[in-house]
Structure 1
Amino acid sequence: MMSGRDRISQLPTEILDNILEFLPIVEAARTAVLFTIWRGCWSNLTQLNFDDQFFAYVGKKYSGSYNSTSTCMYVINKVLMRHHGPIRKFVLDFKGDVSIIDHGPNSRKFDFDQWFLFITQKGVEEMSIAFPATYEIDEINKYFMLPNCIFSCLTIKRLDLSRVLVAPTINSPCIFPNVTSLSFAGVVFGPINLDCVIDVRMLETLSFSQYEDVSYFNIKAPRLGSLTLYDYEIDDDIEVYRRITPVNMNLSFIHTFCLDFNFKFFVSELTRWGRELNVECLELAYVKFHDDDDFSSFIHSLRICPKLRKLDIMTVLIDAVISKYTLFEGFKSAAKMLKMLHTLKLRSFNGSMSELRFIMMILACFPALEKVVIIRSVKFDSNNEFKIMQKLLNFPRASRKAKIIYI
């Protein structure tokens, strides 16, 4: 302790700011009462995180005496009004407490629009906006419509959106001008009021989850390298192919592809992209083979990725009707195209015979394999663990150099 001040308080302001960024926003605010020097840091935080923890704290502290919605909105307004300097990251997450905006996000649209306008003028680089999943897709008028200031912001590099309406009305051929990472979860897309295709010129990583239709989101992304498609909603009785990705988006140059899929629609989508893709890392979730057609579609998805180096699969379910011969012949045909596949990862492994057959057929057919990572879903007893490892290690395989890692 020197001159009545502790060593931490003597650190430069930018370092104190970094320390406060590791605290929830409520705890960061409390530091203002410690020493005078911390008060300036509080008003200059570069990361503002209004998440579940924040709303829970405010709701508990003022429960019974104030309206929770008005109180939370008042606190956020106060924080923004007293803030000085840049804001690099801004999180607004209502998913945890639906009651905060129980009349719908549009009941507070004026406040939200003012906040986002303020934030986009503060040099924000990362934004995360999430609203409750309380509406159906056909209730589009109840979704919060993302304001144009976010579409035109020059500083945003990463944007995560959940349960909002994306329908830009700006008169520009370019949106999200410097966004490199874009994530949509349960987002509803409205028509873009331009005749031309919208250019998201810097976009490198794109993710869609819990969505139905992106045909309105008519964009092109010339630098796109990573694409994620999760929880694409397809009714079992739908027979007509519907596009899974925006119609004008060129996906032939993506190198990382992550998805869970309906084989019928996925194969149609792959065919639209071209005969050969540049995918090097393929991540598949909840792979289910109900019949030979499903497995053939899976093999086709491998064959059109001749540059594939890593295959990551979560959960493999194979019906007994698919024979060992079918598995072997399928992987053998894929191996002729995939000369560079060196890593296989299988997650949520439960020790079933169908999973073991799946792994063994891959081991038998791919000579370039160097590493096989198997991650258990549950812990087996020692006897079963030993039997599984014996089968894997003793199975004849094309590449004896493949290292098996069992976790």
Structure 2
Amino acid sequence: MMSGRDRISQLPTEILDNILRLLPIVEAARIAILSTIWRDCWSNLTQLNFDDHFFAYVGKKYSASYNSTSTCMYVIDKVLMRHHGPIHKFVLDFKGDISIIGDGPNSRKFDFDQWFLFITQKGVEEMSIAFPIPINFEPNKCFRLPNCIFTCLTLKRLDLSGVLVAPTINAPCIFPNVTSLSFDGVVFGAINLDSVLDVPMLETLLFSRCENTTSYFDIKAPRLDSLTVKNYYIDDDTNVYDPILPINLDLSFIHTLCMDFNFTPFVVSELTRWGPKLNVECLELSYVDFQDDERFSDFIHSLRICPKLRELDITTVLFYGEFTKSILWEGVQSAAKMLKMLHTFKLRSFNGSRSELQFIKMLLACFPALEKVVIIRRMKSDPNEEFKIMQKLLHFPRASKKAKIVYR
């Protein structure tokens, strides 16, 4: 073996690309000066990630002599201009420092549009675009997503935050090959189409903190398998509410449903319109708070509308306020008569309270098909207390002898 031989540089191009992809883009650029081999890898890097690390580095290095906005834009321009190969993943995340984009994203709209047009012609498969979410979700202060993204044929995953979605393309189909779509703090604008927009390959869809979802974003997704709806603010005094989901979004085929429990009554009422056709097999609920009998009823109803449920995953169960335990017990028993296939229950952020233990005990006693119960504690506590909790769990009565408890 030759002494001092650079064996890393002799690795296949694909492996060198993987090495650079694991590094922050600033570090990847530094490695490019080592040799022509690394320089070629840099100019053909398949993943470009302009995130908080990148903007913080540029802002710190040039803060004394340059305008940080112009400098960041200049650097990104240069990287894209000198890039020669395909780009499979592109991340542009401005959420960390609002000052980076000065007077707002629309002040640099021409630059952004040119970047995205370039990226969509480079075989991109994943894109993450994040801008600061404007106060009161004002559309005129949001960056409007260009049509080239809606029509990109190679794009498979798209995560959006703080942008305006209002396609003006004259076609019934958008995101033709996207399988995963995430909207966080997105504003939907009026679409110049009379027909419902088709997202033909979509399998995973997330809505979080969105505005005008039902008014302007009317879509159908025949292959939709997973739906997440979270971080919505619902006024407690509201008796009449606007629908959260697009009217023509068929939910009869979704297998995974994730939602915040604080607005479960609103989501459940929308899901109920599909009746027995709902095929949810995995239900994930966040922050289930049992504060009164009405909340118990909401929880039981969310179970009953999923007759094919196989896995129930709950993050944080809170018991407070005045409630009737017998109502919850009767409700769980009635739900158990319908949920013949529920075999897995997960409880995250477990504190070991008496109410939580009683809740687990109730589920174990009511569901005959239950095979696995996973309890994930919030934090490590006194080993003696941990042992006592585990002993209690192991001695709970089970409707099925197959039921096993995993405590971690």
For the pair 1:165 / 2:164, whether they are aligned, the reply is yes
- Give the aligned partner of residue 225 of structure 2: 225
Partner of 2:200: 201
1:324 Cα deviation after fit: 3.1
1:271 shift after superposition: 1.5
Corresponding residue for residue 119 of structure 2: 119
Tell me which residue corresponds to 1:65: 65
2:161 is matched by which residue type in structure 1?
S
Instruction: Determine if contact 1:125/1:158 at 8 Å carries over to the other structure.
Output: yes
1:7-406 alignment runs, 5 A limit:
7-137=7-137, 139-215=138-214, 216-261=216-261, 262-319=263-320, 321-406=322-407
Q: Distance in 1 between matches of 2:212 and 2:381?
A: 42
Q: Which string of whole-angstrom CA distances, capped at 9 and with x for unpartnered residues, describes residues 310-364 of structure 1?
A: 1000011123533332222111111111111111000111122221121111011
For 2:342 and 2:66, how far apart are their aligned partners in 1?
60
Q: Distance in 2 between matches of 1:191 and 1:145?
A: 12
**What SS does the aligned partner of 1:229 have?**
strand
Contact 1:324 1:357 in 2 (8 A): no
Greater Cα shift, 380-389 or 107-116: 380-389
Offset at residue 401 of structure 1 (A): 2.3
Q: Which amino acid aligns with 2:86?
A: P
SS at match of 1:336: helix
Number of residues of Structure 1 aligned to a counterpart in Structure 2: 406
Q: Deviations over 1:111-156 (max 9, x none)?
A: 000000000000100000001134321x210000000000011110
- Tell me how large the CA RMSD over aligned residues is: 1.5
Rate the CA distance shift 1:211–1:80 in 2: closer, same or farther, 3 A.
same
Preserved CA contact (<8 Å) 1:128 1:161: yes
Q: Which moved more, 1:377-386 or 1:282-291?
A: 377-386
Distance 1:50 1:99 in 2: 15
Q: Does the aligned pair in 1 maintain the 2:134–2:141 contact within 8 Å?
A: no
Deviation sequence 1:181-222 (CA, Å, 0-9, x none): 000110011111100000000000001112244111100000
TM-score normalised according to structure 2 size = 0.96
Amino acid at match of 1:406: Y
CA–CA distance in structure 2, aligned partners of residues 304 and 286 of structure 1? 19
* Helix, strand or coil at the partner of 2:309: coil
Q: Deviations over 1:99-122 (max 9, x none)?
A: 101310000000000000000000
* Rounded Cα–Cα distance in structure 1 between residues aligned with 2:382 and 2:277: 44
The answer for unaligned runs of 5 or more in structure 1 is none
Residue 380 of structure 1 aligns to a residue in which SS? coil
Stretches of structure 2 that go unaligned for 5 or more consecutive residues are none
Residue 163 of structure 1 aligns with an amino acid whose one-letter code is G
> Which piece of structure 1 moves more, 222-231 or 16-25?
16-25
1:20 deviation in Å?
A: 1.0
Q: Distance in 2 between matches of 1:7 and 1:383?
A: 53
Please give the secondary structure, in 1, of the residue aligned with 2:298: helix
Contact 2:283 2:311 (C-alpha < 8 Å) held by counterparts = yes
Give the Cα–Cα distance (whole angstroms) in 1 for the partners of residues 281 and 259 of structure 2.
Answer: 14
Q: Secondary structure at the match of 1:232?
A: coil
Percent identity, aligned pairs only, is: 78
Supply the AA of the counterpart residue of 1:192.
I
Q: Which amino acid aligns with 1:327?
A: L
Residue 127 of structure 2 aligns to which amino acid in structure 1? M
- Asked whether the equivalents of residues 272 and 305 of structure 2 are also in contact (C-alpha less than 8 Å), the reply is no
Q: Which piece of structure 1 moves more, 376-385 or 293-302?
A: 376-385
Kindly tell me: are residues 3 and 173 of structure 1, through their superposed partners in 2, closer, same or farther at Cα, counting changes over 3 Å? farther
Measured at CA, do residues 3 and 385 of structure 1 come closer, stay the same or move farther in structure 2, by a change above 3 Å? Answer: closer
Q: CA deviation at 1:3?
A: 10
- In the aligned structure 2, how far is the partner of 1:191 from the partner of 1:127? 23
The amino acid of 2:128's aligned partner reads S
Letter aligned with residue 69 of structure 1: T
| 3-state DSSP of counterpart to 2:159 | strand
**Structure 1 residues 73 and 170: CA distance shift in structure 2, 3 A:** same
CA distance in 1, matches of 2:60, 2:170: 44
- Contact map agreement 2:251 2:271 (CA 8 A) in 1: no
CA distance in 2 between counterparts of 1:88 and 1:33 reads 23
For 2:135 and 2:86, the matched residues in 1 are separated by 34
2:264–2:302 CA contact under 8 A, matched in 1: no
- Equivalent residues of 1:286, 1:315 under 8 A apart: yes
Q: Secondary structure at the match of 1:315?
A: strand
Superposition deviation, residue 276 in structure 1: 4.1
Letter in 1 for 2:142: Y
